[in-house]
Amino acid sequence: MAYGHSDRRAERSSGTGSSRERSSSTKIVISGGFGAGKTTFVGAVSEIMPLRTEAIVTNASHGVDGLDATPMKNTTTVAMDFGRITLADDLVLYLFGTPGQRRFWFMWDDLVRGAIGAIILVDVRRLQDSFAAVDFFEARQLPFLIGVNQFDDGPKHPPDAVRKALALRDHIPVVNVDARDRRSARAALIAVTEYALMNLSPLPG
């Protein structure tokens, strides 16, 4: 049987396939310093097998990637992490994790193109590693929030203290997040999506 325009109109009017027609997708960037938990975050929350572009850390990285603060980390993202999560019937988020090492920062402009917002993951033991990401997103006027990753052996600081240490404006959200926990990561994604939608339109694709 031919599937003509009248059949498609009937399908739309009956509601069949309407959720697909109403659904929309958007892009969120997961950023932060080297070893802040970006790959872990994307892997914990993604409903598909995440795409990872990791390489083994070798001796050549010493003196280049600042490995002293993360001696147990033996892999590093060299391009991006990619995942997907459905927040609602009508909203799908595509997640792009940036590489943390300075020598790969040239890729960030491509990764943020078309994004509506970003989460900057922070390790309070190495807060100085977060300044570059904050400067990057502020310069591009892309809405972002700070996700303070709750490492087991890391100190705990109230959000206001972290905001002050990073010299953030009062309206920028600072939330605690466990990058290993799906519910915690999902809550951070909901928060940045709501914040972004209140602020700016996406960057041109």
**CA distances, 132 to each of 89, 117, 181 (Å):** 36, 16, 26
pLDDT tens, residue by residue, 99-157: 866 656 668 888 899 999 999 999 999 999 999 999 999 999 999 999 999 999 889 99
| pLDDT given for residue 100 in this prediction | 64
| pLDDT given for residue 205 in this prediction | 56
Q: How many CB atoms lie within 10 A of CB 2?
A: 4
| pLDDT given for residue 68 in this prediction | 54
Greater model confidence, 190 or 34: 190
| pLDDT given for residue 199 in this prediction | 86
| pLDDT given for residue 10 in this prediction | 38
The average confidence (pLDDT) of the chain is 80
Burial of 37 (0-12, 13-18, 19+ CB in 10 A): buried
Residues facing 82 on adjacent strands: 51, 96
| pLDDT given for residue 1 in this prediction | 46
Cα distance from N-terminal residue to C-terminal residue, the chain: 39
pLDDT tens, residue by residue, 170-204: 999 999 999 999 999 999 999 999 999 998 655 55
Contacts of 124 (CB under 8 A, 6+ apart): 148, 154, 155, 157, 162
What are the start-end ranges of the H helices in the chain? Answer: 5-14, 18-22, 38-45, 108-112, 131-139, 159-165, 182-197
- Widest CA span in the chain: 68
Residues facing 86 on adjacent strands: 92
pLDDT tens, residue by residue, 43-100: 999 999 888 654 444 454 445 455 555 544 444 444 578 999 999 888 999 999 998 6
Tell which CATH architecture fits domain 18-197.
Answer: 3-Layer(aba) Sandwich (3.40)
Mean pLDDT of 159-164: 95
| pLDDT given for residue 23 in this prediction | 64
| pLDDT given for residue 99 in this prediction | 86
Extents of the domains making up the chain: 18-197
Distance CA 41, CA 19 (A): 28
The candidate with the shortest Cα–Cα distance to 131, out of 171, 173, 102, is 102
| pLDDT given for residue 126 in this prediction | 93
User: CB–CB of 146/167 below 8 Å?
Assistant: no
What string of DSSP letters covers 34-71?
Answer: TTSSHHHHHHHH-SS--EEEEEE--GGGTTTS-GGG-T
pLDDT tens, residue by residue, 7-28: 433 333 344 444 444 568 999 9
